[in-house]
Chain A
């Protein structure tokens, strides 16, 4: 048998057969490099910020940071004790306001409101509230709580933070309840349990981890909020009154006011506060993410 090509077969140009054209290869390679470097840029911004906080914040951290109250203008030393405690109280108040409402609303959307037009509307509005600017919520609480009550208060701050937390909790509660398989509910109903009992002792129990995550995520979301607090709880350089009326000191607004102040110890404290608040929030978010991944 002869191996020579018969003259009737046209020879294909070698460049187009069996290989990828150079321009396509280049475009592909360029895309790979560009997307990878975009990812590196974003991640390095995160580490840049964290590095900045550690470098500038660690120096300001000491026992006094946690035991002494914020210093007045021009006075030496001082700490963040009142701001830290105030922040914890305000955040806790926000979660206390938001949890029952958020969990019940999420339950309604997942369990009772299936297929109803009203539930669809509420879900839609909730999604909008989820990304609504927090400054508007601060203004809203100022109009309904601060102005009528005649002054800034910790209560107004707590309510503002609660309103920001509600949509987060509604959303995660609904999502998590939807993951609970239907047969579990049917088994409960078959035993004669009314819907409320099925929900509270079967569905909620099955979705517990996810629902706790929602609350943790809400906590992480509101702990660093600054804008709404400027209009509601404001700040205070001393220990706030125990009935939470008048300004209540808190970390975010303290950082805001101290950061660009002319006193060196104020700036130092602002950095220490930034480090404390960011690390707590990142830790909370990482824990919440772990739980979600475990639940799924």
Chain B
């Protein structure tokens, strides 16, 4: 009785209209949910395929797969250490050069650049990230390497020859221009746009009241950057650096062009070496049997190293975004 006279209830209208739309609604919702889950499955799939594909190599070599320094396709002995060391040292050199440059660029863009200059320069820096990896490789091999050999490696080798420690690290036995240091320098320019643009965004987010109050008590621009901005953005800067590290660790084509692709480990950063990615790119198309498994095993190592680095990076970057 009450339900019928209640003007707000219209029992007949609802099911009529809901049925066809309801089906589409359900399908749409489930399709989006499935697509989102697919992203999750992708990562799981990559991890599993690396582990399964590399397993025969891990089983055959044991711990020696990681610590061994012999990579011999004839004897079927695979030790990844030279490639791991090459990956770590090129990435470390890239950070050493790339991080100060990126921080300087971010500070310049946010604090010092004139307004009309800021936008085109920002775009130019971001376009460095759009240049394909293989083009960096071409530039590295045909333009940078000859210059580097003639003007850095040869004179430097003459200077440091015979010196303790420096004489080992910086001496090049064959100054071809190719090597770990060259790869690190090219990588540095490749990671600059990523680090610089994140740090620039972080510095832009810091409330300008903080800056203004520091200027108000007479601080110079450098002091504002050093004592106000850097401490505020500190954690996210580390996050941005880790993101750059993730890039540098897995970069393939540019490194393959300039690293020299030597299988042995050398004490000098001027000597040719190889990274995990360059080793895979170089040998993959001719690999058979256990060698193929060993290459996928290398991929597995690369996966876990970059995964850990990227997880830390994302946590650090995300934490500051919410402040």
Contact = CB atoms under 8 A, between A and B. Distances in A.
Contacts of A122: 36-37, 39-40
Nearest to B100: A38
Interface stretch (A5-13, A68-76, A78-86, A126-134): A126-134
A276 to B, nearest CB: 11
A225 B137 CA distance: 13
Given A42-B105, A49-B131, A282-B130, A105 B285 contact: no
B108 A36 contact: yes
A38 B101 contact: yes
Contacts of A252: 132, 134, 253
B131 A129 contact: no
A230 B35 contact: no
Report, as a range, how many residues of chain A touch the other chain: 35 or more
Given A39-B121, A163-B42, A196-B24, A230 B220 contact: no
Given A39-B109, A39-B121, A277 B302 contact: no
B264 interface: no
A139 B105 contact: no
A42 B243 contact: no
B25 interface: yes
Interface residues of B, number: 91
Interface string A109-122: 10111000001011
A135 B124 CA distance: 26
Given A31-B225, A195-B25, A282-B130, A108 B246 contact: no
B130 A104 contact: no
Contacts of A259: 137-138, 141-142, 257
B40 A125 contact: yes
B131 A278 contact: yes
Interface string B114-131: 000000010111111011
Interface string B245-287: 0110111110001000000000000000000010011001100
Contacts of A245: none
Contact of B252 (A107, A131, A134): A134
A135 B280 CA distance: 9
B302 A42 contact: no
Contact of A39 (B31, B105, B131, B194): B105
B176 interface: no
A235 to B, nearest CB: 10
Interface in A150-185: 163, 166-167, 170
B311 interface: yes
B281 A28 contact: no
B221 interface: yes
Contacts of B277: 133, 135, 227
Given A52-B143, A135-B252, A282-B130, A20 B220 contact: yes
B21 interface: yes
A12 to B, nearest CB: 15
A194 B128 contact: no
A133 B50 contact: no
Given A36-B112, A128-B43, A200-B28, A53 B35 contact: no
A227 B143 CA distance: 22
Given A43-B124, A231-B284, A38 B105 contact: yes
B285 A234 contact: yes
Contacts of B21: 194, 196-197
Those 8 A-B pairs whose CB atoms lie nearest each other, nearest first: A133-B250, A224-B132, A38-B104, A104-B35, A196-B28, A108-B32, A35-B108, A28-B220
10 contacts: A49-B136, A52-B143, A105-B38, A108-B36, A132-B246, A134-B250, A135-B280, A143-B52, A194-B24, A227-B252
